[in-house]
Amino acid sequence: MDFVAQTLSLPDQLRWAAAIDVPPLGPASAVLVAGMGGSGISGDFAAVLAEAEGRRLHVTKGYRLPRWALEEKPLLVAVSYSGNTEETLTVAREALDAGLVVVGISSGGELAQLPLAAHITVPGGNQPRASLGYLLGPLTGVLAAAGVLSDPGLEEATAVVEAVHDRGAPMALVEAMLGRIPIVWAGSPLTAPVAQRWKTQINENAKAPAWWSALPEADHNEIVGWQTLSGLTSEHLVVVPLRDTADHPRVGLRFEHSRHLTAPFVAWTEEVWTEGNGNLARLLGLAAVADLVTLELAGRYEVDPEAVALIEDLKALLKG
């Protein structure tokens, strides 16, 4: 399956995830998800789902188990599509040595060979960033089995993603981003990890620079950062506002006034809104728009959206 087909298979991935059997797990008072890149973003999305149910879920991205975890003993879920991500393996091994319950989600690799409490094997052959449903879907199942989530809403999320795919890439948005460095702005804890996902999809699929920020924090610093070099920023930067129906009313005002005040210094696109009712549907629908937009940008820039040569070169250098 080529990379575009992998990316657009998200609805099928979610249907697969809804049908798998998750091993029974005892109740967890806290959860820690370890993962990097296209695997780790599943933890960021899951943290939003857990917060909505008043539960605590932390995400670690690096080589070390957080010190608090040695005392609190959270359930650790190690997510690595390949099963060979060195940072995630390091954290998983440290957690096992510390006596934590560790669950793995991967397509195989070294992670599946560790003495885990449970391992969920996902279909292989994809790029990690084109496997969000294969990773986040089972993660929601693990969290439900641990008493952290109720129904995650996979059915609604599948329907919303399919509707986004049926419409295709919003071409006005693509045109507004073309040739500019996008600054993806979130307006709530729900849209913040999606803004991060937009940024990384722009990086990897379109091979283009981008960054993300969130309101209201960006109104306390970033909005003044485009004035001194406005000759450059007005031509080469563009703000992409991600909106959600649950945004705080004051955040809605902040988007409106921030656009008006910064228009002389930076371009803005149309607002991109979440769809659906459940948190998972809103997260994944907005993420699906990013997939379509960044694949279109890759085509316009005449780059291969799948290849990540520099990342592979770095991994080779680290292996020595």
Same domain, 161 and 145: no
State residue 151's pLDDT score.
Answer: 87
- Give tens-digit pLDDT for 167-186: 999 999 999 999 999 999 99
Q: 290: closest CA among 224, 152, 191?
A: 191
Same domain, 42 and 65: yes
Count how many Cα atoms sit within 13 Å of the Cα of residue 287 in the half-sphere of its side chain.
31
Per-residue confidence band for 26, with pLDDT thresholds at 50, 70 and 90 = confident
Catalytic residue at 315?
Answer: yes
Count how many Cα atoms sit within 13 Å of the Cα of residue 286 in the half-sphere of its side chain.
32
Least trusted range by pLDDT, from 9-13, 23-27, 42-46? 23-27
CB 274 within 8 A of CB 282: yes
Same domain, 73 and 119: yes
Residue 31 phi, psi (nearest 5)? -130, 140
Query: CA-to-CA distance for 301 and 145, rounded, in angstroms?
Result: 44
Domain count across the chain: 2
Same domain, 8 and 145: yes
Tell me: pLDDT of 254 over 90.
yes
Q: 107: closest CA among 88, 144, 74, 134?
A: 134
> What percentage of residues in the chain have a pLDDT greater than 90?
96
- Give tens-digit pLDDT for 218-252: 999 999 999 999 999 999 999 999 999 999 999 99
Query: CA-to-CA distance for 17 and 140, rounded, in angstroms?
Result: 9
Same domain, 168 and 141: no
- Give tens-digit pLDDT for 120-135: 999 999 999 999 999 9
Same domain, 52 and 166: no
Single out the catalytic residue among 248, 257, 260, 315: 315
Same domain, 123 and 238: no
Per-residue confidence band for 320, with pLDDT thresholds at 50, 70 and 90 = confident
Tell me: pLDDT of 1 over 90.
no
Tell me: pLDDT of 29 over 90.
no
Same domain, 146 and 178: no
Single out the catalytic residue among 87, 110, 156, 204: 204
Catalytic residue at 319?
Answer: no
Tell me: pLDDT of 191 over 90.
yes
On whether residue 143 sits in a domain, the answer given is yes
Tell me: pLDDT of 8 over 90.
yes
Same domain, 160 and 85: no
Catalytic residue at 204?
Answer: yes
Q: What is the mean pLDDT of the chain?
A: 96
- Give tens-digit pLDDT for 266-319: 999 999 999 999 999 999 999 999 999 999 999 999 999 999 999 999 999 998
Which residues are 129's β-sheet partners? none
Same domain, 89 and 63: yes
Tell me: pLDDT of 32 over 90.
yes
Same domain, 121 and 176: no
Single out the catalytic residue among 71, 220, 302, 319: 220
Same domain, 84 and 17: yes
State residue 181's pLDDT score.
Answer: 98
Tell me: pLDDT of 60 over 90.
yes
The model's pTM: 0.97
